[in-house]
Amino acid sequence: MEVLIAQRIKELMTESDLNQVKLAQKIGLKQNTISAWLSGKKQPCIESLWLLADCFKTDIDYLVGRKKY
């Protein structure tokens, strides 16, 4: 599942024209946290998933692969 989460975050970042630094600033986390998610070293906790969902105007089900869109 972590690969899917990373893939979805990358897609949403591209669609929103955000790099790791900009996303980190927007959701109030560190860039190295975003990097760890995207590389699959770590998975976002539930609070981070909420932040991501709000940032990208989507829901957690999409981020974790329970919904296709």
Query: Following DSSP, what letter does each residue of 8-38 receive, concatenated?
Result: HHHHHHHHTT--HHHHHHHHT--HHHHHHHH
State the fold for domain 2-63. 434 Repressor (Amino-terminal Domain) (1.10.260)
Q: Over 90: is that where the pLDDT of 1 sits?
A: no
Per DSSP, the three-state class of 58 is coil
Model confidence pLDDT, tens digit, residues 2-49: 579 999 999 999 999 999 999 999 999 999 999 999 999 999 999 999
* Global pTM value: 0.91
Cα of 23 vs its chain's centroid, Å: 9
Tokens of 35: 């990097």
Instruction: Report the pLDDT value the prediction gives residue 36, as an integer from 0 to 100.
Output: 97
Instruction: Report the pLDDT value the prediction gives residue 55, as an integer from 0 to 100.
Output: 98
Q: Over 90: is that where the pLDDT of 69 sits?
A: no
Tokens of 51: 């932040």
